[in-house]
Amino acid sequence: MSSDNYAELRAGVLPVDEATGVPICPPPRELLSIRVQKVYNECKNTEVKRITIPIDPPVRADEVECSKAWAENICCEKEDSIVTVTYDLHVSFKLLKDKRVVTTITEVIPNQTRSFGLARACDKGLRCEVDVYPEALLCEITCSSSAGYVSEVTCCVGVLYWVRLVAPVQVLIPSFGYSPEPPECEAVGGLCPDFKPKWPPYPPDGPYDDGCGCGC
């Protein structure tokens, strides 16, 4: 395959040979040695937390509306075959009166933990990493006075955990060259002249050539 044809390659689903059912893929240009994080084991888990939040001082309102939830200060530790995740959970909601927002409250619930059994967690050289994706599902007023002052809100927060055991490794992969040049972004014009750098903005691809023509 010529270099021009390689330049036409795009990421996406490979076409399939109708006769054989095998994906049609050109031969790679070279084998690359790259350093990456290899995932040795992984799991996901979900839970729904019911969190009661006191409102002090109380706020006069007749409705509550969930805004969002997110996690910060996420960390994980592994011991034996157990991985423990710790994070601070943030929950934000709005209190409304007659359909108008009275106030927005963000509550921080620190040191939330969740433990998982994961094979190979005791292996030396592997470290754990985790992503935590909370989502505010429902908030409701659970305590208010006869005068309409809200002193407590309870929120249900769904949390998705994605835990992995990883280690840095060096592997060989087939390469088809650098990714093609992307389309131009629509930018606001200015007073400066156009800038059209050479693409791609990387060192030359392929084997090293010191000028002797031998590629060594």
Tokens of 48: 């729904």
Q: How many domains does the chain have?
A: 1
- Is residue 94 assigned to a domain? yes
Q: Could you tell me if residue 28 is inside a domain?
A: no
Q: For residue 157, tell me if it sits in a domain.
A: yes
* Assigned domain for 49 exists: yes
| Assigned domain for 104 exists | yes
Q: What sign has the CA pseudo-torsion 28, 32, 34, 40?
A: positive
pTM summary value: 0.77
Structural domain that includes position 78 = 37-169
Q: Please spell the DSSP secondary structure of 173-194, one letter per residue.
A: EEE--SPPPPPPP-----SSPP
Residues 33-63 have pLDDT tens digits of 999 999 999 999 999 999 999 999 999 999 9
> What pLDDT, on the 0 to 100 scale, is given for residue 26?
82
Q: 111 versus 11: which is more confidently predicted?
A: 111
Q: Determine, yes or no, domain membership for 149.
A: yes
> What digits encode the pLDDT tens for the residues 177-211?
888 888 878 766 666 777 677 777 777 776 666 65
In a domain, 159, yes or no: yes
